[in-house]
Structure 1
Amino acid sequence: MMKTKNLSRRHFMATTAATSLILGAGRAMAAEPIKTAGIYTVPVEQQWVSRIHKAALAAQGRGDIDYSFSENVSNTDYARVMREYAEAGNTLIIGEVFGAEQEAREVAAEYPNVAFLMGSSFKEDAALSNFSVFDNYIQDASYLSGIIAGAMTESGNIGMVGGFPIPEVNRLMHAFMAGALEMNPDIKFQVSFIGSWFDPPKAKETAFAMIENGVDVLYAERFGVSDAAQEKGILAIGNVIDTQADYPETIVASAIWHFEPTLDKAIAEVQAGSFSAGDYGAYSFMNEGGTSLAPLGTFDGKVPAAALALVAQREAEIRSGAFSVTINDNEPSSS
């Protein structure tokens, strides 16, 4: 359900100011919060969306945006919700259109004075100047978490459970696998996709099957995987968020996504009246502050020193540009 606020004089002025900025008006009115809407196809508690939501709340807290959002929006209803928010005076709309790419771009074309920043598997189109794309290119931290997984497995058998084999999932899995193989070239992988972004029971059952087949470390791309690992007493590597507090004896490390650099760049462009079609993916890279490896926490002192030394070396090289993690968007397969 759409969360709305009463239209006050202040909100009206914010809307007017943000609209003027999109049109290229002067910076004098930029101090007014930009009326911003988030549209999400899953609950805001879901890993990926939670990071967008967190960044938006932070931007609202410092007065940059006036934020409302809708969650659990179906792909078939996405275009309608986009139009409602555009008609309501929002001048920055964020979300994820992986299942509604064409419809979303058609709506954006109808509202050229609204800036759209959308998670997408496709690139920007110069002909649609108000529609920018992003994705969580957190392969840098995924690679580092793979090094740790490669050091922690005893069976040399790692299971990987993902939602869908789309580029933003595939690249993280490949980076994780590459990191694990650098640590231990003999590791084998079991890879499976559950066909859902939010189905913890199915993810858990898939993980159980992998455990029965000999894995002792799981890559938890979806909710539910860590529950299976915890119940069976094996280890897991987290993705996008840090859930070690919930699984203190299970989650060894996690590749964290920080959406703040992506959103902050879009806010600055809207404030300057210079928002245009672009690919914001690079703002998820480690050297932009878009990703990091979560602290080891309860596993401090339990990860082999050789792995930690390699993580430190590779992280320094990634930040300096001396080492680049390969971006492979192809569907991964079991080995």
Structure 2
Amino acid sequence: MALFSAPPASAKDKPLKVAAVYTVPVEQQWVSRIHIALKAAEARGDITYKFSENVANTDYERVMREYAEQGSDLIFGEAFAVEKAARKVAADYPKIAFVLGSSFGPEKPNLSVFDNYIQEPAYLTGMVAGKLTKSNKIGMVGGYPIPEVNRLMNAFMAGAKEVNPDVKFSISFIGSWYDPPKAKEAAFAMIDRGADVMYAERFGVSDAAKERGVKAIGNVIDTSKDYPGTVVASALWHMEPTVDYAIKQVLADKYQAENVGPMSEMKSGGASLAPLDPAVVPKDVADLVMAKEKAIKDGSFKVAVDDKEPKPTM
């Protein structure tokens, strides 16, 4: 990871004052990972934690600036549409540590960036989907065709194609990070065209799959308990390595602007495949997937990072 010079500061004592600003509810997949990791750090006594959710993009800078004025030691920003605002605030408060979801680089002295590099378990879930589809038609519903979504979809598609070269894909982006009804309607349309496995990058897709009796693949969080028999595999994102690292660096007076995105990879504990339920995933399929997971972990197989917008093939 690239390191840059840190601002002068004195070492901090526990608990750190930590804040986060979210444009969506904390239940939403992406921000729920940050929120849960920060709540765990709070429960350990490492931090105090304040957050704001459902903040409008136009109000983001004001809310983040208020947390900075309140004396926060560490502030987590969300991503993408609010990036310009977050970077502006970080530049105005060089002695506060900022961590931002971003496709772009860190900004010295105090802005680190993270990302959800969970393409490896996404590939494994694609293998499950490719084996379970009977129609050879898979539907995929995403939020926006940005790199963080594209790389997961492309990895999923590659995994499915490895085990089933005949599989075809429908792809739709709903233009929202949190609109379950819209995602559900997009999924219904694909199921009506023959898709019998759905890639649920957004909330709402698994609901459609459950109602129509088809299978779904989860993304970022494990919803199999909410959709038993429907969600058959999930690629999970764990923000704990990233969050805990940032806290540790601030406490030790070693915080530096850097790209902490690699902490979201499997080798760092930032990504995993949810346990496969033998009631819905046959043993031969699970064995195939586990063998590939082993190859990923020992470095003998590399999952490509493909950030280009995925294209439908049906």
Q: TM-score, normalised by structure 1?
A: 0.89
Alignment partner, residue 91 of structure 1:
73
- The match for 1:16 is none
What is aligned with 1:15? Answer: none
1:322 and 1:270 map into 2 onto residues whose CA distance is 36
Which residue does 2:120 correspond to in 1? 140
- CA offset at residue 305 of structure 1? 3.3
Structure-2 separation of matches of 1:246 and 1:271: 38
Q: Distance in 2 between matches of 1:188 and 1:236?
A: 16
Q: In structure 1, which of residues 245, 254, 257 is the aligned counterpart of residue 234 of structure 2?
A: 254
Q: Give the corresponding residue for 1:105.
A: 87
Tell me the alpha carbon deviations over residues 91-146 of structure 1, each in whole angstroms, 9 at most, x when there is no partner: 10012131022222111110000000011122223xx3200110111111111111
Instruction: Encode CA deviations 1:47-104: one digit per residue, 9 max, x unaligned.
Output: 1111110000000111111101000011111111111000000010012131022222
SS at match of 2:45: coil
Greater mean alpha carbon deviation, residues 186-195 or residues 89-98:
89-98
Identity %: 61
Q: Distance in 2 between matches of 1:129 and 1:319?
A: 34
Query: Is the Cα–Cα contact under 8 Å of residues 161 and 203 in structure 1 kept in the other structure?
Result: yes
Q: Distance in 1 between matches of 2:55 and 2:302?
A: 36
Instruction: Give the corresponding residue for 2:8.
Output: 23
What is the rounded CA distance, in whole Å, between the counterparts of 2:45 and 2:24 in structure 1? 26
Q: Deviations over 1:162-220 (max 9, x none)?
A: 00011111110011111111111111000100000000000000000001111000000
What pairs up with 1:228-267 in 2 under 5 angstroms? 228-267=208-247
Q: Which residue type is aligned with residue 223 of structure 2? A: T
Q: Does 1:318 align with 2:296?
A: yes
Aligned partner of 2:195 in structure 1 is 215
- Secondary structure at 1:99's aligned position in 2? helix
- Aligned residue identity for 1:321: G
Residue segments in structure 2 that go unaligned for 5+ positions in a row: 1-5
Cα distance in structure 2, aligned partners of 1:306 and 1:95: 42
Is the Cα contact below 8 Å between 1:34 and 1:91 reproduced in 2?
Answer: yes
Secondary structure of 1:95's counterpart equals strand
Contact 2:17 2:72 in 1 (8 A): yes
- Distance in 1, Cα, partners of 2:280 & 2:214: 14
Structure-2 residue corresponding to 1:71: 53
RMSD: 1.4
Structure 1: gaps spanning 5 or more residues: 1-20
Residue 302 (str. 1) matches residue 287 (str. 2): no
Tell me, in whole angstroms, the C-alpha distance in 1 between the residues paired with 2:291 and 2:53: 40
Q: Is the 8 A contact 1:123 1:133 kept in 2?
A: yes
In 1, are the aligned partners of 2:140 and 2:200 still within 8 Å (CA)?
Answer: yes
CA distance in 2, matches of 1:24, 1:324: 40
Q: Is the 8 A contact 2:232 2:276 kept in 1?
A: yes
Find the partner of 1:206 among 186, 189, 209: 186
Q: 2:140 aligns with which of 152, 156, 160?
A: 160
Q: Does 2:268 correspond to 1:288?
A: yes
Contact 1:170-1:332 within 8 A present in 2 as well:
yes
Partner Cα distance (1:120, 1:309) in 2: 35
Contact kept in structure 1, 2:232 and 2:280, CA below 8 Å: no
Query: How many positions carry a matched residue from both structures?
Result: 308
